[in-house]
Structure 1
Amino acid sequence: MRTRKSALVVTMCAGLAVTLTACGGEGGKDPDAGTNGVGKLPAAKIESKARTVAASASAVRLSGNLVTKGRTYTLDMRLKEGGGTGQVSTKGSTFELLRVGKDLYLKADAGFWAHQGGKSGQAGSGDAAHKLDDKYVKVPSGDPSYRRLTGFTDKKVLLDGLLGLHGEITAGDRGELSGVRTIRVLGGEGGEGGSLDVSLEGRPYPLRLQRAGRAGVIRLADWNKDFKLTAPDKDHVLDYGRQIPAGP
């Protein structure tokens, strides 16, 4: 009789396991089914893998807000080895950047140049500003602005500087970004050291970064998606002739 009852319990558990939590077991759907498997790894290993695949990628698109030295930048940049292109905004000013190899170009409207010239005492007149309106200006490599602006167009510099989390790294919730399943890793207690959403599909690329100290949120997309990167026509390039105003 006891044997018959045991057999009956086993049969009931087997039948219910399809739709309910199994009797005495975990049951349910495997959260890692159909994923790349990184969700099973320790949190620190997930972050390490995400940084590794990001560093090896040939191209990426970064967009969002970045706070550095008390200043907020809104950027939308496409980057790859050898250069980058896109738009940056800060304090009401917007400008475009294009870097091809070591050559860096800046393009903005007359209002931008008039504003920057007014602060620096250079090119602030209407005539000078209009000459630069929507023209590419080649930034001299020796100009103080060159190094700062180049940083926005350098894939390695940006990724190395952005992707690090601070404090003890722990695993957070699973979620979804633009239809892609993700897992979040957190830095510090409660994510105070930043957070990183890592793809659970394909290669474990980082897809969203919340910087430590609420210093901005960056989306990362178009991994390995190539794009053309060519210098502007000479007819669209003006020689500034002196230092670029220090405003950008």
Structure 2
Amino acid sequence: MTAIPQGRTRRAALVSAMCVLVVTGTGLTGCGSEDPDAGTNGVGKLPAATIQAKTRKAAGAADTVRLSGTVVSNGTTYTLDMRLKSDGGTGSVTSKGATFRLLRVGDHLFLKADAEFWSQQGGKASGDTSAARKLDGMYVKVPAGDPAYKRFSGFTDKDVLLDGLLTLHGTLATDGHHEQSGVRTIRITGDKGSGGSLDVSLKGTPYPLSLVRAGNAGTLRLTDWGKDFALEEPSKKETVDYGQQLPTS
């Protein structure tokens, strides 16, 4: 058996002792720990501003996305589950205890809700619920000039919605490596989180996967990037068209 030189033994013992010191002193995984960016798309090594620019570009170039979570706008909380593409979108919105569906194909916006939703339009319940019952479960075409069109169409507009949501406020910085639904991410923040935070995928295209908006204005998940889905107008049997103005009670 070949003898191991004493100098080599002392060096090995010294390296081992240094590893223990590093682990106990800093909480690292030890000597020889893997690079957190190994095998990733590399954006985790970039400055926060560059990461934000890349993820916004990736989001804008994607054909489709699913967006779910909450958005607070003008003091009202909306719970969304929307699938979006360049020419429209579809999904559900819940606000103030009422849930309704939105569907936009091109410039045509449709709203589908139950009788209770329609009976509450105008700020108070209507004593006559006959019109509301007729609209129960039907797609109501929202006139382009109706206030509801401007109010709700933004929830179905991928570019407008993402452009407004994917903005962090204040000084940008990276905030470590994280994970979203099994996908490794790099987190970037605005003003140490008070200006919002965004988790960006370290796998493949650097899509945004999770967003916490500034000022407690909502938390959103962004999934199904690039996964196509059918988007078509409802049939005439499913549709009610009131022309220039939606019914109000």
TM range (shorter): 0.7 to 0.9
* Structure-2 residue corresponding to 1:166: 169
* Structure-2 residue corresponding to 1:33: 38
For residues 112 and 20 of structure 1, what CA distance do their matches in structure 2 show?
Answer: 64
Instruction: Verify the 8 A CA contact 1:182 1:197 in the aligned structure 2.
Output: yes
Q: When the two structures are superposed, what TM-score results if normalisation uses the length of structure 1? A: 0.88
* Alignment partner of 1:59 is 2:64: yes
* Structure-2 residue corresponding to 1:200: 202
* Alignment partner of 1:229 is 2:231: yes
1:204-219 matches, cutoff 5 A: 204-219=206-221
Aligned residues: 238
Cα 1:94/1:33, change in 2 over 3 Å? same
Secondary structure of the residue that 1:151 maps to in structure 2? helix
Instruction: Verify the 8 A CA contact 1:145 1:246 in the aligned structure 2.
Output: no
For residues 70 and 115 of structure 2, what CA distance do their matches in structure 1 show?
Answer: 24
* Structure-1 residue corresponding to 2:115: 110
For residues 76 and 246 of structure 1, what CA distance do their matches in structure 2 show?
Answer: 26
Deviation for aligned residue 1:150: 0.7
Please report the RMSD computed on the Cα atoms of aligned residues, expressed in angstroms: 2.6
For residues 54 and 145 of structure 1, what CA distance do their matches in structure 2 show?
Answer: 27
Q: When the two structures are superposed, what TM-score results if normalisation uses the length of structure 2? A: 0.87
Instruction: Verify the 8 A CA contact 1:117 1:124 in the aligned structure 2.
Output: no
Deviation digits for residues 172-195 of structure 1, max 9, x if unmatched? 02111111011110101x310000
* Alignment partner of 1:96 is 2:132: no
For residues 42 and 123 of structure 2, what CA distance do their matches in structure 1 show?
Answer: 56
For residues 166 and 101 of structure 2, what CA distance do their matches in structure 1 show?
Answer: 24
Secondary structure of the residue that 2:119 maps to in structure 1? helix
For residues 69 and 240 of structure 1, what CA distance do their matches in structure 2 show?
Answer: 28
Structure 1: which 4+ aligned runs deviate by more than 4 Å? 4-14, 19-22
Secondary structure of the residue that 2:90 maps to in structure 1? strand
Deviation digits for residues 147-184 of structure 1, max 9, x if unmatched? 22110000001000000000010110211111101111
Instruction: Verify the 8 A CA contact 2:143 2:243 in the aligned structure 1.
Output: no
For structure 2, which runs of at least 5 residues remain unmatched after alignment?
A: 23-29
For residues 246 and 167 of structure 1, what CA distance do their matches in structure 2 show?
Answer: 42
Deviation for aligned residue 1:98: 0.3
For structure 1, which runs of at least 5 residues remain unmatched after alignment?
A: none
* Structure-2 residue corresponding to 1:238: 240
Instruction: Verify the 8 A CA contact 2:145 2:244 in the aligned structure 1.
Output: no
Secondary structure of the residue that 2:143 maps to in structure 1? coil
Deviation for aligned residue 1:109: 0.1
Instruction: Verify the 8 A CA contact 1:100 1:230 in the aligned structure 2.
Output: yes
Instruction: Verify the 8 A CA contact 1:20 1:28 in the aligned structure 2.
Output: no
* Alignment partner of 1:45 is 2:50: yes
Cα 1:46/1:75, change in 2 over 3 Å? same
Deviation for aligned residue 1:21: 8.5
Deviation for aligned residue 1:231: 0.4
